[in-house]
Copies of this chain bind each other. A is one copy, B any other.
Amino acid sequence: MATMHDVARRAGVSVSTVSYVLTGTRPISAATRDRVLEAMAELGYQPNAMARGLASRRSNIVGLLLPLTGRALGATETAFVTGATEAARQAGYHLMLCPVGPGDTDELQVLATQGLLDGFLVMEVGLTDQRVDLLRTLDSPFVLIGRTADTDGLACVDIDFEQTVEDAVAHLVGLGHQAIAYVNHSSASLAGGYGPAKRTELAFEAALERHGITGVMVPTEDTASGGRAAIRQAREQCPELTGVLVMNENAALGILADLRESGLEVPYDVSVVSMVTSEVVADLASPPLTAMTSPGTALGAAATRVLLDRLTGDAGDPTYTELVPCVLDVRGTSGPARPRTRPTKAAPGRR
């Protein structure tokens, strides 16, 4: 590997001059610049990342804090990651995946103090999250993807759950639905203070009231069978329901299957809207899911930009919060509400 010394010698300049050409820190005459550039090209010179990092105390690497549950990531999380990675790359940064969950403070402590990372992107943020506290006291720059209960002084990028729920409910109400169920994350998530679960619960209640309709919320596991259980429970608690809002993609498919097996046709008898859903999964269902598509890639990219702005010093507001709602994609599982008579077996031929 050629070093800066080699380049300097070949171009007949000093090492520092080469450095200035590279970093643009000081003005260099066009003539010498060209000579240096040429020498670099001839030698196939590539600056050493470690040396640069040591001297400048910035690595151009940001860490992505992501609890690795052992189970696969959802499509939404994956989109976050790819969005963030791509955005970082375009800004000349690298992205390091760090399996650090809300409780792994020791891990994070090490990561943040060993000087490898310039800043952090924090995913899967709980309403109270030790990682946030730690990063704050260490004052490492960081941006949350998600939100804690108290976002004072924090930079956050998140899905606008309130708006998303409202939009979804409005869609159903617009189709004439008067009784809707909301199938939320598990009660464990709710109790554990998982932000999206809590926020959507509140938003759902608010939306019901605003539109003057009735509804129930049912928490359930994020699996197909969880969805099945939830829809049964919902129909029991609220037999007249014609609309279902469901938080989790997997649960959504379970609901669809269960309704079908119960002799109810979607969307003729019941409409289903899936929240925070990726297109791939929506298209997996048949009919394809009407869904609030999660802006995963965009969020990841936005978070990265916010963090990078902070790092390069031209930081604006340190309390910057950017909320992006999911957008409604009407596909095959939502339609006009049936009149409020007890549904008979679905009329054939309708789909």
* Interface residues in chain A, defined as those with a beta carbon under 8 Å from any beta carbon in chain B: 1, 44, 46-51, 53-54, 57, 59, 61, 64, 68, 70-73, 75, 78-79, 81-82, 85-86, 89, 94-99, 110, 113-116, 223-225, 250, 253-254, 257, 261, 278, 280, 283-286, 288, 296-297
Contact = CB atoms under 8 A, between A and B. Distances in A.
B59 A50 contact: yes
A115 B50 contact: yes
B94 A253 contact: no
A99 B110 contact: no
Contacts of A51: 54
A47 B114 contact: yes
Given A46-B110, A70-B82, A280-B72, A116 B94 contact: yes
A85 B71 contact: no
Contacts of A78: 72-73, 78
Contact of A81 (B54, B97, B280): B97
Given A72-B79, A81-B97, 15 more contacts: A1-B115, A46-B114, A48-B54, A49-B114, A50-B115, A70-B82, A72-B78, A72-B280, A72-B296, A73-B82, A85-B97, A224-B283, A250-B280, A253-B284, A254-B284
Contacts of A75: 72
Nearest to A107: B89
B96 A61 contact: yes
Contacts of A110: 46
Contact of A280 (B71, B79, B113, B261): B71
B284 A284 contact: yes
A46 B98 CA distance: 18
A86 B107 CA distance: 13
A274 to B, nearest CB: 12
Nearest to A84: B97
A189 to B, nearest CB: 17
Contacts of A261: 286
Contacts of A114: 46-49
Between A49, A57, A115, A116, the greatest number of chain B beta carbons within 10 A of the residue's beta carbon is seen for A49
